C-alpha cells in the first residue's frame, strides 16, 4: 500500500468518526427537544393563544422543519 492509499484510508476513517459524532449530537439534541415538548404538553399553557410558542423549546422544534 502506498502513501496516498494510506492517507485516503485515514481520511475516510476520520470522516466516519466525524459523521458518527454528528449523528450522536443530533440524536442528543432531538432527545432534549422531545423531552422539552413533552414537558410543554404535560404543563398547561399560560398563553392566551394555544398556537403561540410557550417557550424556547417550541420555537426550536419549529426551526427543525
| pTM of model > 0.75 | no
Place of cell 404535560: 42
What pLDDT, on the 0 to 100 scale, is given for residue 32? 96
Four-point Cα dihedral 44, 31, 33, 42, nearest 10: 0
What pLDDT, on the 0 to 100 scale, is given for residue 1? 82
What pLDDT, on the 0 to 100 scale, is given for residue 46? 56
What pLDDT, on the 0 to 100 scale, is given for residue 9? 98
The series of mean pLDDT values per 10 residues for the chain, 65 residues long, is 95 98 98 92 61 56 60
Amino acid at each position: 500500500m502506498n502513501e496516498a492509499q494510506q492517507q485516503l484510508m485515514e481520511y475516510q476513517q476520520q470522516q466516519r468518526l466525524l459523521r458518527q459524532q454528528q449523528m450522536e449530537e443530533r440524536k442528543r439534541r432531538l432527545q432534549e427537544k422531545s423531552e422539552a415538548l413533552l414537558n410543554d404538553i404535560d404543563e398547561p399553557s399560560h398563553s392566551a393563544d394555544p398556537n403561540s410558542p410557550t417557550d424556547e423549546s417550541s420555537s426550536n422544534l419549529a426551526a427543525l422543519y
